[in-house]
Structure 1
């Protein structure tokens, strides 16, 4: 009966003595059980691969791997945990479990290494055994590598490493993803995330005016002078109980604006976008002039529009349920 000493590929420590009985497959199976890894290839100390049990001699020193090529043992190889981690992750086809902040992610070594070879993740799980490698983090009970970071922000990064496209869900803050990209060293992702963050910053030149902005403009303007709000974005603004006399709203965007109680009787409403507008009755009995206004698809449910001039206005697909249109002028209106 022959016996041999077998080490894990690339290691000179913690060798095991095996008896060589019947077949190469049996020897590899026994090695897998003792080392806790799936042993697939057997090498001599000089790197020659053994494919026949008859080539094994008594007292040979051999090395097993889980599929990767022969790694020559180094003289300073003294850390058992380091070598076991390397042998466990060096297979190009091996799946890797990551425990990111308590959430398990399953991916492959090639996904973590290929796109960003200089990133922290690539250096943790790369095949090359050089000084640039980082010792993998400890594992949890399931064998997943523990990393104390945010799983919510890591998920878009992993997707980017898989298919090269950055996809960030609407409810995920790109600023958080950017910080994680910096932490993991995914440098190619940083410019794209920075551009995304800049695009989300509201543009002060296009942002809707607020009620305070309108009040400030009104108090600074004479009651007999026209205040030009032509083309202004007033979407969502609360304009209720304000005196809007002598204000030019032509081409303005008043979508979802609150226009209650008081409106002047001659507003240039041509092509104004309205939604959820109510109480368009003029307290002095004069008619509000909305001639030619575009109210297509507007929600005017329950609006008080008695006597309003809607001549040649567009009301197609508008919601006029419970709308008071007593005495309203609808000549030529598109209903």
Structure 2
């Protein structure tokens, strides 16, 4: 890297002043207008040490951050068209593609935020890629459906009826809300349920083998005869949960909250209980 590429450049974009390097302005988008301006082939007019560009400087910090690390900024929907105009002006084709991809994803998500029925869900899961991120599915009857590998991250699933549904390896990131959901007999093997709220949920006969339940809220949940073999329950709150007949063999219960929980007839062979709160637990 030459010393010239590291030279500081001071820019005045419509009255807003910025400082960056020639390397930042030329490396990520070598065919852009900015790269051409600072390629050394052009003489640039400067005033008091600043190169003036007659554009609105409102979003130029996002332009610079894109050139620095290639990450499309997270903005309000109304701001993306403004940034898109600036990206097009500066001929930053990578940023233009990135913004359009974000807008398309948000449009897809918005299409799913309308009120859905069981029939709508069945139609959706027949497609190759299914996402219900942030969708309100509370109260829907989704029993017996094959929902394996579906992304439910940030969705609202209060009182949703998942009885005997196949949720194997489904994603539930963002502390999904399962309060009082019926998951009786559901297949949740390998599901990502980290920090999920399963308070008062019915998990009777549910298969949670290898599921990620770290820091999950399982207060007063009914896990009678549930299979949690090899599940990760590190830091989970199981206060008042019903675990009669549950299989927790090889499960990680480190630092889990099991105070006053009835563990009688619960299978705990090989389970990790280091640091778990077992005060008053019945074993």
TM-score (norm 1): 0.45
Rounded to whole Å, the distance in 1 between the matches of 2:107 and 2:163 is 30
The residue that corresponds to 1:260 in the other structure is 158
Shift of 1:240: 1.0
- 1:137-156 alignment, distance < 5 Å: 148-154=54-60
Rounded to whole Å, the distance in 1 between the matches of 2:110 and 2:210 is 24
The residue that corresponds to 1:6 in the other structure is none
Q: Which runs of 5+ in 1 are unaligned?
A: 1-93, 126-135, 282-286
After superposition, the C-alpha distances for 1:205-237 in whole angstroms (9 at most, x for unaligned) are 97586253632835xx9xxxx878366322222
Whether the 8 Å CA contact 1:206–1:233 is kept in 2: the answer is no
The residue that corresponds to 2:36 in the other structure is 116
Shift of 1:246: 5.1
- Residue 308, structure 1, aligned to residue 199, structure 2: no
- Residue 276, structure 1, aligned to residue 177, structure 2: yes
Whether the 8 Å CA contact 1:291–1:309 is kept in 2: the answer is no
Rounded to whole Å, the distance in 1 between the matches of 2:21 and 2:195 is 53
In structure 2, the CA distance between the partners of 1:168 and 1:152, relative to structure 1 (3 Å rule), is farther
The residue that corresponds to 1:101 in the other structure is 14
Q: Which runs of 5+ in 2 are unaligned?
A: 1-6, 27-32, 231-250, 252-283
Rounded to whole Å, the distance in 2 between the matches of 1:159 and 1:255 is 28
In structure 2, the CA distance between the partners of 1:227 and 1:263, relative to structure 1 (3 Å rule), is farther
Please identify the structure whose Cα radius of gyration is greater. 1
**When you count strand as a share of all residues, which structure comes out higher?**
1
In structure 2, the CA distance between the partners of 1:169 and 1:255, relative to structure 1 (3 Å rule), is closer
Rounded to whole Å, the distance in 1 between the matches of 2:61 and 2:124 is 49
- Residue 215, structure 1, aligned to residue 111, structure 2: no
Whether the 8 Å CA contact 1:314–1:333 is kept in 2: the answer is yes
TM-score (norm 2): 0.51
Whether the 8 Å CA contact 1:238–1:259 is kept in 2: the answer is yes
SS of equivalent residue, structure 2 residue 114: helix
Rounded to whole Å, the distance in 1 between the matches of 2:34 and 2:216 is 60
In structure 2, the CA distance between the partners of 1:319 and 1:276, relative to structure 1 (3 Å rule), is farther
Whether the 8 Å CA contact 2:179–2:199 is kept in 1: the answer is yes
Shift of 1:238: 0.9
The residue that corresponds to 2:101 in the other structure is 199
Match of 1:236 among 120, 134, 146: 134
RMSD: 4.9
